[in-house]
Amino acid sequence: MANEIMMQSFEWDTDGSGDFYKKLSRDAKDLKKAGIDALWLPPACKGGGDNDVGYGIYDLWDLGEFDQKGTIRTKYGTKDELIKAIADLHEAGIKSYADIVLNHKGNADFKESFKAVMVDQNNREEDVSGELEIEGWTGFDFKGRNGKYSDMTWHYYHFTGIDYDAKSETSAIYRILGDGKYWDEDVSNEKGNF
């Protein structure tokens, strides 16, 4: 097995002009000459706007292809530019690794009302309220994509918890109530259940 060098290609303050993927394409050969064998690419999914770093995931199926959240491109460019950058990296002999963010969801399209309990900030296994009717930003309809690739829309019942009640304007950790709803037992036990 070869001793290879992998480099993170982005950082939090990467320029948000939308030219990131084009730059990777331009620099692929030079990166290989500098000894880079693999690149860690930023999250490619559409976030809350064209300067979202990629961890406020709005739509997992939009890689910079649909007019959603005020932009077609992501912070890093368009889907076509991403595909070209990966092809150019591979042609230069550089492997590419995508940062895939499946456990974040943000920038919902609308609020929904549902039942929840507030839990202790430091021990999420401990309820600190009774049953509450709260309002959360949990409705995602992805109208800009119009069902292409997936017709699934997201609602409160797809989530186990949120961190803000829009009805009372309270920031806290809320566990959503419903049949079969509880924290995932396989998640870290930091703060009771992280």
Domains along the sequence of the chain with CATH: 6-98 (3.30.750.90), 110-192 (2.40.30.140)
Asked if residues 105 and 159 have their Cβ atoms less than 8 Å apart, the reply is yes
Q: What is the pLDDT of residues 89-140, one digit of tens each?
A: 999 999 999 999 988 899 999 999 999 999 999 998 999 999 999 999 999 9
Please say if the pLDDT value at position 80 is more than 70.
yes
pLDDT of res. 187: 75
Q: How far apart are CA 8 and CA 67, in angstroms?
A: 28
Q: What is the pLDDT of residues 15-67, one digit of tens each?
A: 999 999 999 999 999 999 999 999 999 999 999 988 888 898 999 999 999 99
DSSP symbol at 40: E
The model carries a pTM of: 0.88
